[in-house]
Structure 1
Amino acid sequence: MSISQSNPKSSRPAPFSLRLTTEEREQLEAQAGSMPLASYIKSVVLTDMAPKYRKRAKPPVAEQQLLAEVLAKLGATRSANSLNQIAKAIHQGTLYVDDELEADLNAAIGEIAWMRVTLMRALGVKS
């Protein structure tokens, strides 16, 4: 009887557990890079059967720190929120602004949103 047949309600086999020393795990994690550890182990042990994963290069630590600082400063300025409030006032008619200024403000909102998404993607943060 196979593992998946032992429990008829389960469509997936039970997980396999493996005990590693701290050093062994650190070595495997270093070899796996950004690949999930289980996927890396499968790709090594079951080379022909394992799904193929493209390794994603991790940005250098200094670059990640710089990206994190930029994202933190962008969040701290609350400029996107301020621009959004200005845009709302324009649309409600409580603030008179000519067409050129309105277009500039809307463009700024879009650019800030793009920067935020791009920085979060570069850091590997899910929005």
Structure 2
Amino acid sequence: MSRPAPFSLRLTPQERSQLEAQAGPMPLASYIKSVVFAAEAPKYRRQRKPPVAEQQLLAEVLARLGSSRTASNLNQIAKHLNQGTLMLDEDLAADLHRAVAEVAWMRVTLMRALGGKS
């Protein structure tokens, strides 16, 4: 079954502006359909904002990322592994353990913030 040809509607700039304001975040065509076909129009869910607790967890992860050198340390370790110049000493072992713990904490915290199981 083929789709019908598109329908075109000419509006003044003021009319278009008014329609866009009334539509809010809904796509303009969907808003027009919802007004014209009220009961039959598709229903769109609004994007939900994460609850405050989730926002706090996400902020904590971002703060931890910003204040740690985990990403930089992992990048340097990967670089040396690729070059074959990695020498494992106490400092590197400690960095690896810290990085693994940070990544594990971030994973669990992000999963909790996003409503998943950790």
Q: 1:104 is matched with which residue: 88, 95, 98?
A: 98
Is 1:14 the counterpart of 2:8? The answer is no
Flag the structure with larger Rg.
Answer: 2
3-state DSSP class of the match of 1:16?
coil
Is 1:38 the counterpart of 2:29? The answer is yes
Q: 1:88 is matched with which residue: 78, 82, 89?
A: 78
Go from structure 1 to structure 2 and tell me whether the alpha carbon gap of 1:43 and 1:81 turns closer, same or farther (over 3 Å shift): same
Q: Is contact 2:70-2:99 (8 Å) kept?
A: no
Return the TM-score normalized by structure 1.
0.49
Greater RCO structure (CA 8 Å; 6+ sep): 2
Count of aligned pairs between the two proteins: 85
Q: For the residues of structure 2 that align with 1:80 and 1:28, how far apart are their CA atoms?
A: 49
Return the TM-score normalized by structure 2.
0.52
Q: Name the structure 2 match of 1:51.
A: 42
Q: Is contact 2:77-2:86 (8 Å) kept?
A: no
- Root-mean-square deviation (Å): 3.7
Q: Name the structure 2 match of 1:26.
A: 17
Q: Is contact 2:33-2:41 (8 Å) kept?
A: yes
Q: For the residues of structure 2 that align with 1:80 and 1:15, how far apart are their CA atoms?
A: 53
Task: State, as a whole percentage, how many aligned pairs show the same letter.
Answer: 46
Show structure 2 runs of 5+ residues with no match. 50-65, 111-118
Aligned partner of 2:10: which letter? R
Show structure 1 runs of 5+ residues with no match. 5-10, 59-73, 116-127
